[in-house]
Structure 1
Amino acid sequence: MNRPSAPARRRFIAASFVDAVGNGIYVPLTMLFVHHLTGQSLTAIGTGLTVAGLGALAAMPAVGVLIDRHGGKRVYTGALALRAVAFALYPFATTYPAFLAVALAVAVAMWASAPGQQSLIGDMADGAERDRLLAWNRSLRNGGMGFGALAAAAMLALGSGGYLAAALALAGAFATAALLVVRIPLRATNTRRPVQADGGYRTVLADRRYRRLTFANFLIGFGYTAQAIAMPVFLTRDADLPDAMAGIVFAVNTALVAGLGVPVARLMARIRRGRGAALGTAVFALSFAAFAFLPALDGTTAVIAVLAVAVVYTAGELIHSAPAESLAVHSAPDHLRGRYLSTYQLSWSLCRTLAPMLLGLLLDAGTWQLWTALAAAVLIGGAILLHTDRSPARPATQREPVPATA
């Protein structure tokens, strides 16, 4: 079994945490951050960020090719370094073309980080050790996001200078993470790449089992995006709860995922990955059904009910995320891991691109329509995962690279 050395593990964990802290600073402040640094209007910023997101979507296939040719470590390092440079340049992006260029660099680097990081984990370890690293990464991602959000709040207390401080902090955080990743030692056998990967994206698209897995993730992804997009509006408008409840629910979710991510992942490792992920979607659907009944409650009862349902929602996330991510990484053949994981990342990216529009339409349609649609999406995704779990494994000829001829 391939096991990472203790220094490699420590440096990866440190880099993952610092990376997550940077995301925690940037994500909650995105619109305000860009507005104060560039002086652009909110409408122009929203349009520019959408264009940048679409550009990042178009770049994902190239990211997969780069990972397969140069390895996840180099691509992940490059993505972190690119974000460091981009955030350092944000205070100087006062013209609209400059803002678009910086926003595109941030978006491409942000979405390239996930497959690069997962591919690095695949190069560092395999089997149960790989699952443990994935579990640590998920927990650190949530803990770092929460810590970064607190840091962002402290920076905002500084007034207008806080946004410049945030830009410098982001540049420093991602530069530090890049330096940590550079120093992760890999065995020579894990850094060699075939001269020419057999099949390329044709092999990925022909892999029926992985196509199902990716489509299931696209559907289930709406359950994850609902927390940031639909839940705050629902809790304040439909359930008539204080604005602070959305932040409390987010804090509860972040704390539980950060604290219980590794233990739950160990428990889920005893179950077949597809079945475990499908079980998580059933718990997700149960929480969505409970959310639909919250507007009928009021006062203290409503607050207690929201917190209880938030715990159920988080349980669904914990149960689903560990086996689902492991299934995606383990199902990708080594010589095409970059292309496979970039395709899988596209399902997340496309979901996050469409979610604001689709969830907004469902919020306007009514309370039960939103939660019914979300429950149906995750349950269909869970059913696909169950079917994928029963599908035969890929033939060995697709998992191994074809030796290059002289």
Structure 2
Amino acid sequence: MPLLPEPGPVRTLAVSTLVNTLGGGLWMASSALFLTRCVGLSAGQTGLALTLAGLVSLVASSPAGYLADRLGPRGVAIGGLVALGLLEVAMVEVRSMGTFLLVAAPMAVFEAAQRAARGAIIGGGVPQERRVHTRAYLRAVTNVGITVGAGLAGIGLTVDTRTAYVCLILADAATFLVAAAVLTRLAPIPPAPRPGSGPRLVALRDRPFLAFVVLDGLLATNFGVLEVALPLWIAERTDAPRWMISVVFAVNTVSVVLLQVRAARGTETLAGAARASRRAGFTLLVSCLIFSLTAGSRHGLTIALLVVAALVHVAAELWFSAGGWGISFGLAPDHAHGQYQGTFAMGHQFGQMIAPAAVTTLTLGWGTPGWAFLGVAFAVTGCLIPPVVRRAAARRIPAGDAVAASR
């Protein structure tokens, strides 16, 4: 993967994304402790508040994408980032769960808006054959930004005072504003004209596309395996040292940065993207089966199995991401990239919401049979995506190409 893309919209998006996700890493690493130690929320209240904010973002995703299409994605992205920066400053004054939600709810709306707008910028400002490549590159950049931001947050977490947490929040606010300033270098993308008749939120009436979004969201629970279930599994059900949790995360992060662009090759078409999603499902099955073996292995073998399973899992994750991008861009009408990207994001948000409870119940509650059940569910879900894509493509492209999309 080249360190810097060619001058143009992709480079501008990359720089803006790097700055924005650096701030995201600061917030992700410190938000829970800020809310519990400084605001005084309990762990349960913190989880509930973040879940409610996530629900607001989910509901707002498709309408926010519609606005990006109608108003122009560049302006919506910049406006969303500026609003997020100002609201993040207001986070300093949060003193209760109620005041947190008063700040977090509009932040969730503006976050959904700028996210959908970025998808529309790619859809409207990047050639079709380079859109998936661009998303892959930006995901690699995102991992770099979050990792650096989380590392920098460690300084504030070590100091562990309200002043330190406030400094982290203000630094995050600054990254929103700098990211917005970077996006002003983009050439304006004109609003997409809406067809004269028909519903406004066409993505929410596109049943085949919604079926894909649901399936993609179910596959997105694979992130919960890595982030929630696996750390608990390693600590409670294996004899591996706990530092293996960090090793598994490092394997994932480095692999995404180095290999996401390469893994996206061939997913620029609906046919290639559908195959990648199916491949991801079966690869997740293999990773789940390998993870389950660590319950009965010992010492060096356990460590080796965890590393192998982590590598298999991240391969599935790379194909899953690339496949979803290819399908979401391929099925979106030219006048509705924003709302289709917003609706596509709803699937990921849904998957991430149900993942903690679902994957921990299966893996830690059921043990080895739970890992097998989870893996089979991933494989079945992956197999369902190609026929759903074929049905959706049949409404947009000639029949022969639609058939090819399912192979």
TM-score (norm. length: structure 1): 0.88
User: In the aligned structure 2, how far is the partner of 1:47 from the partner of 1:202?
Assistant: 29
Deviation for aligned residue 1:239: 1.6
Counterpart residue number, 2:48:
47
The reply to whether residue 57 of structure 1 matches residue 54 of structure 2 is no
Equivalent position amino acid for 1:199 in 2? G
2:93 is aligned to 92
Counterpart check, 1:326 vs 2:329: no
SS of corresponding position for 1:297: coil
Partners in 1 of 2:377 and 2:221 — Cα distance? 8
Specify the alignment match of 1:253 in structure 2: 252
Paired position in structure 1 for 2:309: 309
In structure 1, the partner of 2:11 is 10
Q: Distance in 2 between matches of 1:70 and 1:305?
A: 51
1:227 CA displacement: 1.1
Contact 1:252/1:310 (CA < 8 Å) preserved in 2? yes
Match of 1:184 among 179, 183, 186: 186
Change in Cα spacing, 1:355 to 1:386, as seen in structure 2 (3 Å) is same
Q: After superposition, what is the alpha-carbon deviation per residue over 1:358-390, rounded to whole angstroms, capped at 9, x for unaligned? A: 233324522124322321332122112221344
Q: Find the aligned partners of 1:202 and 1:69 in 2 and give their Cα distance.
A: 11
Structure 1 position 204 matched with structure 2 position 203: yes
Q: Aligned residue for 2:300?
A: 300
2:228–2:356 contact (8 Å) kept in structure 1: yes
Q: Could you tell me how far 1:196 is from its partner in structure 2?
A: 5.6
- The one-character-per-residue Cα deviations of 1:306-328 (angstroms, maximum 9, x if unpaired) are 11111111111122211321211
Cα distance in 2 for partners of 1:362, 1:129 equals 39
> Could you tell me how far 1:350 is from its partner in structure 2?
1.5
Q: Distance in 1 between matches of 2:209 and 2:352?
A: 20
Matching residue of 1:400? none
Q: Which deviates the most, 156-165 or 284-293?
A: 156-165
* 182 and 199 in structure 1: CA distance in 2 versus 1, 3 angstrom threshold: farther
Letter of the aligned partner of 2:221 in structure 1?
F
Find the residue that maps to 1:200 and give its secondary structure.
Answer: coil
Taking structure 1 as reference, are residues 16 and 325 closer, same or farther at Cα in structure 2, changes over 3 Å only? same
Find the counterpart in structure 1 of residue 170 from structure 2: 168
Between 101-110 and 148-157, report the one with greater CA deviation.
101-110
Closer, same or farther: CA 112–377 of 1 in aligned 2, 3 Å: farther
Gaps of 5+ in 1: 398-406
Report the secondary structure of 1:50's partner residue: helix
The answer for the alignment partner of 1:404 in structure 2 is none
Cα separation, 2, equivalents of 1:155 and 1:374: 38
Q: Which moved more, 1:112-121 or 1:172-181?
A: 112-121
On the 8 A contact 1:38/1:92 being kept in 2, the answer is no
Contact 2:274–2:327 under 8 Å retained in 1: yes
Counting only pairs closer than 5 Å after superposition, residues 222-301 of structure 1 correspond to structure 2 as 222-266=221-265, 269=268, 272-301=272-301
**Paired amino acid for 1:374:** L
For 1:23, the equivalent position in structure 2 comes to: 24
The list of structure 1 runs, each at least 4 consecutive aligned residues, that deviate by more than 6 angstroms after superposition, is none
Structure 2 unmatched runs, 5+: 399-407
Count of aligned pairs between the two proteins: 391
Name the CA shift for 1:384/1:31 in 2 (closer, same or farther; >3 Å): same
Q: How big is each residue's C-alpha offset from its partner over 1:280-336, in whole Å with a ceiling of 9 and x where there is no partner?
A: 221121111111111111212211221111111111112221132121122111212
Q: CA deviation at 1:264?
A: 2.4
Instruction: Please state how far the C-alpha of 1:192 moved relative to its aligned partner.
Output: 3.0
Cα offset for 1:61? 3.4
Distance 1:18 1:370, change over 3 A: farther
| 1:153-183: CA deviation from partner (whole Å, max 9, x where unpaired) | 2332233133122111101111111111122
Is contact 2:194-2:335 (8 Å) kept?
no
Q: 1:402 matched to which residue of 2?
A: none
Per the TM alignment, residue 130 of structure 1 is displaced from its structure 2 partner at its CA by 1.7
Q: Distance in 1 between matches of 2:254 and 2:154?
A: 17
Contact 2:218 2:381 in 1 (8 A): yes
Deviations 1:118-176 (A, max 9, x none): 11111111222222211211111112121122112233223313312211110111111
Q: 2-side partners of 1:240 and 1:78: how far apart?
A: 50
Distance in 1 between residues matched to 2:281 and 2:202, nearest whole Å: 29
Question: Structure 1, residues 66-86: CA drift from partner, whole Å, max 9, x if none?
Answer: 122113222322332232122
Aligned residue in 1 for 2:404 = none
Q: How far 1:233 moved relative to its partner? A: 0.8
C-alpha RMSD over aligned residues: 2.4
- The DSSP-based 3-state class of the residue aligned with 2:239 is coil
- Which moved further from structure 2: 18-27 or 34-43? 34-43
Supply the AA of the counterpart residue of 2:342: S
In the alignment, the residues of structure 2 paired with residue 38 and residue 139 of structure 1 have an alpha-carbon distance, to the nearest angstrom, of 34
CA distance in structure 1 between the aligned counterparts of 2:154 and 2:292, rounded to whole angstroms: 32
User: C-alpha separation between the residues in 1 aligned to 2:302 and 2:102?
Assistant: 46
Of the structure 1 ranges 321-330 and 205-214, higher mean CA displacement relative to structure 2 is found in 205-214
Q: Tell me the distance in 2 between the aligned counterparts of 1:52 and 1:217.
A: 21
Q: CA deviation at 1:206?
A: 4.2
The AA in structure 1 aligned to 2:366 is: G
Aligned to 1:401: none
More displaced, 286-295 or 37-46? 37-46
Look up the equivalent residue of 1:183 and give its one-letter code.
R
- The answer on whether the counterparts of 1:119 and 1:341 sit within 8 Å (CA) in structure 2 is yes
Listed one character per residue, the Cα deviations across residues 36-73 of structure 1 (whole Å, up to 9, x for unaligned) are: 34233333322222222222223223213212211322
